[in-house]
Amino acid sequence: MSKAEKGQCLCGAVKFEAEGKPMWVAHCHCRSCRRNTGSAVATFVGLKQEQFRYVEGSPKSFTSSPGVSRSFCNDCGTPLAYEGDHCPDEIHIYVSTFDHPEVFEPTAHVFIVEKIPWLHMDDGLNRYKGRGREG
């Protein structure tokens, strides 16, 4: 990602921009992220806070577990971002909220131990038991 990438919620009430290269792009299989999206896997773009800004509207947020805040559009309910105390300088944006999600190619699967057993993604990407700092 060399230019600013834009995105928004489903209804367009909340819009954002991100600049610079992401730290990572990964599929998360944890139960909390799956439940937040209502899907079998959630794919995130990991950015430094200074790379990201809301340009229109303000999302609502809630604490989904101790030390974790999730943002969403208060009008349409679209999940937008994940922020955690364990990574205070980062914001994780759901890839499909970007206008061009195809520019963010995942390189890993995280929390693979929580993967739904019937989901098979034979993509050759690295797989990690947790956040990706261990094997």
Q: Where are the domains of the chain?
A: 5-127
Q: Which fold is adopted by the domain 5-127?
A: 2.170.150
Residue 49 contacts by C-beta under 8 Å, 6 or more apart in sequence? 89, 90, 91
CA dihedral over 75, 76, 81, 83, signed as positive or negative: positive
Q: Output DSSP code: residue 35.
A: H
pTM confidence score: 0.92
Q: In tens digits, what is the pLDDT along the chain, a chain of 135 residues?
A: 558 999 999 999 999 999 999 999 999 999 999 999 999 999 999 999 999 999 999 999 999 999 999 999 999 999 999 999 999 999 999 999 999 999 999 999 999 999 999 999 999 999 999 987 554
Please name every residue paired with 76 in a beta bridge, in sequence order, or none if there are none. none
